[in-house]
Amino acid sequence: MTELELRKAICEVGRRLYAKDLAVATDGNISVRLGPNRYLCTPSGVSKGFMAPNDLIIADGKGVKISGAGKVTSEIYTHLAAYEERPDMNAVIHAHPPKAIAFTLAGISLAECILPEVVYSIGGVPTTEYATPATREGSEVIRGLIRQCDAVMLNRHGAVTVGVNVFDALFKMEKVEHAASTLLTAQLLGQVPRLTRDEVEKLYVVRKDYGVTGKAFKCETCSSNTGQTCPSGTPPTTSLDQVFEETLRALEARP
């Protein structure tokens, strides 16, 4: 794609994020790799739903603006960390999917292997430690996890996805929020069983056979004997079943 085509693609992705409530007001940021030490990114303080190609900024590998009006996105260091850890990826999106963020607020991990299509496409979605938004802390907390997966939750803040192109990163962001919405609904209806280790292994075989790109985070502590799949071990660690049981107790305790 030419630079102009990339600018148009970022604007289109921004409109979709805004339309789907994944980035409200001026939230979120998008970037693509233009070449060695050059990144095209959204400016700070601009709604992602109303951007024009000329609004975008080019920054270098240290986050310093090369060209464009306005300020470089405040999360540029998080983007750069993702690019450094994942040279196979060419786009990064940081957004605020509301239901997925709610899971981190409630202390529930999305890294558990429950939905087959999520395991197949992006794997589990682990949660980082808390980092102050708009600081270099974001780059520090995602490094270890982004090496292992294409989607991570920033505790109490949002989500980061990487892709071979900006639309690939968008689809992964949509998948994160859709998974959170599905799990929330399922939990309200009853207890949610995990996939067994054998079932997860089969999904990873299919994923490989069909040449799905990227990396899928997999729980390494699951038990093949009990048929249960555990959280990733990264915070938060509260399970969906625990939340469901606590909710039932609270309802029963009402006068």
Distance between first and last Cα of the chain = 63
**How confident is the model over 14-28, as pLDDT tens digits?**
999 999 999 999 999
Taken in order of first residue, the domains within the chain and their CATH numbers are: 3-252 (3.40.225.10)
User: Got the DSSP string for 80-140?
Assistant: HHHHHH-TT--EEEEE--HHHHHHHHTTB-B-S---HHHHHHTBBB-BPPP--TTSTHHHH
Single pTM value for the model:
0.85
Task: Using the Cα atoms of residue 188, residue 107, residue 81 and residue 11 in order, give the sign of their dihedral.
Answer: positive
Strand partners, 59: 39, 65
User: Got the DSSP string for 10-41?
Assistant: HHHHHHHHHHTTSS-TT--EEEEEEETTEEEE
Phi-psi label, residue 124: left if phi above 0, alpha if psi -120 to 50, beta otherwise:
beta
Please tell me what DSSP assigns to residue 67: E
State whether residue 227 is helix, strand or coil. coil
**How confident is the model over 33-89, as pLDDT tens digits?**
999 999 999 999 999 999 999 999 999 999 999 999 999 999 999 999 999 999 999
Rounded alpha-carbon distances, angstroms, from residue 89 to 47, 80, 84, 253: 25, 11, 10, 50
**How confident is the model over 226-253, as pLDDT tens digits?**
333 343 333 344 455 555 565 556 556 6
